[in-house]
């Protein structure tokens, strides 16, 4: 199946060839000819809208153009009907037998027809990236979950992925924290909840620093000592990182997220003087009011400070150094950053500098809107922060209550495992299923939805299929289902088959636009088609042949659901 093109590209190439045969010498204008899924089933399976747009260039009426393209279309076994409609649409209906064979091909491929689009290419994905010494709260989940889905998706498409958790482990906050640690440490609290205690120390020290000049000066001194390699401060700093990573790792384990690298900003510290030198020598940055400032006259961006007047490097310098280091070490085709919207300007500046320094890799900032509460923003100071662990706990608790109710006979251990999969899946899906760039208002009921457009809905569809397959094997032991052909005859079966066959195109689209929500939408629609099928069409008690075809269709849906959910980082238990 590796050499097989996806449905979209197959039909698009063919349709373009039809236009080229009808209008020789117009290749440039015809490059835009494309085929897309039909807006409505009544129009067929796919449609081509190119004729209307070409009317001016080709100096012909759209309907005449469409008719000519149809007349010149080369033979194509995939297409049963090709017809003109409305002002110049071309509607395509796939051949039933061809579609069934296509599905057979997908099912015999462990990759379900997904092309190895990224073979030989490397992408670095920088995501999650929490700050050391601060607990992860619900604002951190989006980067983690979206980044992880992009990670899995790219890996599946054959990219070599370097997932890097770029910890915030360097900077002025550590001077404040060390000073706080020296004066306010509560050892019992640190032992009980280390990161919470570190945060408390930071907040307390920070507040005092705002009020007292001397305290602030002392914080700065601690930072300078740390950055100069003072053994005592270095040891403290390493301890902060160790404690924080312990807590982060616990959350990542629950979320089933793993990184290839966990390099903090500190990793690039030694490279900063070299970067500054290059920025200065190339004229990209110059002195201004004691600071070193990068200007972006050509790019219409405001200037940014790369080195402060006290000589400390700013985070723009760190991020440029990080880009250069990644390019040098991994030679990636793309570096993808997943952060919230507040960093848009920052990354535009960093990317502009990197390009000026000769970086050719595609630099992408995948940003998402800040999570808000109905009553407004949340902040540590207002004390209305919802800790990520609390959210995950609540999700599992709600899911467990549901499992106990609907599956009272399931062993307790399994109930807990299902509740974990369902609860965590629900939380992830809430972030993955919407356009990340919308403003998001957090609500418990939405984040933990267990019905409707939610992960549990998909998991439920999957579990029901597993149950059907088990029952089939019980009643018909030893039967090799592959020996029976797929015969999608009913409209709902055909719709299901067509939807399944689109899976590879969906993966490519989601990766190209860096939007896992495209995959989530697809899976939701798939589960919807399936639920309709399941609810309204009997299969186990049908006659041999029909029965096997339908059971195989079920298996196909299960396979795509499982693979799709896995790419979103969501488990698909066989029983829920």
Distance CA 332, CA 536 (A): 49
Tell which positions 492-511 bind RNA, by CB under 7 A: 509
**From the list 60, 63, 221, 528, which residue makes contact with RNA (rule: CB under 7 A)?**
528
Site string (75-94) toward RNA, x via CB under 7 A: ----------xxx-x-x---
Tell which positions 539-558 bind RNA, by CB under 7 A: 539-541
Provide the pairing of β-strand 362-368 with 334-340.
parallel
Distance CA 518, CA 215 (A): 51
Distance CA 351, CA 316 (A): 10
DSSP 557-575: HHHHHHHHHHHTT----S-
The count of residues interacting with RNA (CB under 7 A) is 109
Tell which positions 198-237 bind RNA, by CB under 7 A: none
Binding status of residue 534 toward RNA by CB under 7 A: yes
C-beta of 8 vs 20, nearer to RNA: 8
Binding status of residue 302 toward RNA by CB under 7 A: yes
* H or E stretch at 367: strand 362-368
Tell which positions 10-49 bind RNA, by CB under 7 A: 34, 36-40, 42-44, 47, 49
**From the list 282, 344, 384, 397, which residue makes contact with RNA (rule: CB under 7 A)?**
344
**How many other CB atoms sit within 10 Å of the CB of residue 476?**
14
Distances (CA, A) of 355 to 126, 146, 319: 18, 26, 13
Shortest Cβ 405–RNA spacing (Å): 8
What backbone torsions phi and psi does residue 430 show, to the nearest 5 degrees?
Answer: -55, -35
C-beta of 26 vs 343, nearer to RNA: 343
Distance CA 67, CA 73 (A): 10
Distance CA 20, CA 419 (A): 56
Shortest Cβ 66–RNA spacing (Å): 10
Q: How is residue 146 written in tokens?
A: 């979206």
Binding status of residue 175 toward RNA by CB under 7 A: no
DSSP 437-459: TS-EE--HHHHT--SSSSHHHHH
Binding status of residue 275 toward RNA by CB under 7 A: no
C-beta of 122 vs 266, nearer to RNA: 266
Shortest Cβ 272–RNA spacing (Å): 11
Q: How is residue 387 written in tokens?
A: 């800790």
Tell which positions 382-421 bind RNA, by CB under 7 A: 399, 402-403, 406-407, 418
Site string (449-468) toward RNA, x via CB under 7 A: xxxxxx-xx--x--xx-xxx
**From the list 155, 160, 221, 346, which residue makes contact with RNA (rule: CB under 7 A)?**
346
C-beta of 163 vs 395, nearer to RNA: 395
């Amino acid at each position: 199946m590796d050499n097989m093109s996806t449905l979209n590209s197959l039909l698009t190439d063919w349709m373009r060839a039809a236009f080229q045969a009808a209008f020789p010498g117009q290749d440039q204008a015809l490059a835009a000819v494309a085929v897309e899924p039909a807006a409505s089933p009544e129009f067929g399976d796919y449609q081509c809208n190119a004729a209307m747009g070409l009317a001016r260039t080709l100096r012909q009426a759209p309907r005449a153009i469409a008719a000519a393209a149809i007349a010149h279309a080369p033979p194509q076994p995939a297409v049963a009907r090709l017809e003109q409609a409305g002002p110049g649409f071309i509607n395509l209906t796939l051949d039933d037998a061809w579609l069934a064979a296509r599905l057979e091909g997908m099912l015999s491929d462990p990759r379900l027809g997904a092309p190895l689009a990224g073979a030989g290419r490397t992408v670095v994905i920088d995501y999650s990236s929490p700050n050391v010494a601060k607990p992860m709260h619900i604002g951190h989940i989006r980067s983690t979950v979206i980044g992880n889905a992009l990670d899995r998706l790219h890996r599946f498409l054959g990219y070599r992925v370097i997932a890097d958790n770029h910890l915030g482990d360097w900077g002025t906050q550590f001077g404040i924290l060390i000073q706080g640690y020296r004066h306010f440490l509560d050892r019992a609290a640190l032992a009980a909840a280390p990161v919470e205690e570190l945060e408390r120390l930071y907040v307390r020290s920070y507040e005092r620093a705002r009020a007292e000049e001397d305290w602030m000066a002392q914080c700065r001194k601690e930072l300078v000592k740390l950055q100069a390699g003072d053994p005592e401060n270095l040891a403290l700093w390493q301890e902060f990182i160790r404690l924080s990573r312990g807590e982060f790792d616990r959350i990542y384990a629950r979320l089933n997220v793993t990184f290839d690298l966990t390099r903090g900003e500190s990793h690039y510290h030694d490279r900063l003087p070299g970067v500054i030198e290059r920025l200065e020598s190339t004229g990209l940055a110059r002195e201004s009011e004691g600071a070193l400032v990068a200007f972006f006259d050509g790019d219409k961006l405001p200037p940014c400070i790369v080195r402060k007047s006290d000589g400390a490097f700013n985070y723009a310098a760190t991020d440029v150094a990080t880009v250069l280091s990644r390019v040098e070490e991994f030679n990636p085709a793309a570096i993808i950053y997943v952060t919230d919207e507040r960093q848009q300007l920052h990354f535009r500046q960093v990317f502009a500098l990197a390009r000026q320094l000769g970086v050719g890799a595609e630099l992408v900032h995948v940003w998402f809107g800040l999570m808000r509460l109905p009553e407004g923003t949340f902040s540590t100071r207002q004390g209305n922060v919802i800790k990520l662990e609390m959210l995950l706990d609540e999700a599992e608790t709600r899911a467990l209550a549901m499992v106990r109710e609907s599956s009272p006979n399931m062993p307790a251990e399994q109930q807990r495992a299902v509740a974990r999969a369902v609860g965590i899946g629900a939380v992830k899906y809430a972030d993955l299923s919407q356009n990340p760039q919308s403003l998001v208002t957090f609500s418990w009921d939405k984040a933990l939805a267990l019905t409707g457009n939610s992960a549990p809905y998909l998991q439920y569809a999957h579990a029901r299929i597993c149950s059907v397959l088990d029952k089939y094997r019980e009643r018909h032991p030893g039967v090799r289902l592959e020996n029976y052909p797929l015969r999608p005859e009913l409209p709902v079966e055909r719709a299901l088959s067509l939807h399944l066959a689109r899976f590879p195109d969906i993966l490519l689209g989601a990766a190209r636009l860096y939007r896992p929500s495209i995959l989530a939408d697809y899976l939701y629609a798939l589960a919807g088609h399936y639920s309709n099928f399941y609810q309204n069409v009997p299969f186990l008690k049908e006659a041999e042949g029909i029965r096997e075809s339908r059971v195989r269709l079920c298996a196909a849906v299960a396979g795509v659901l499982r693979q799709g959910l896995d790419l979103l980082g969501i488990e698909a238990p066989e029983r829920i």
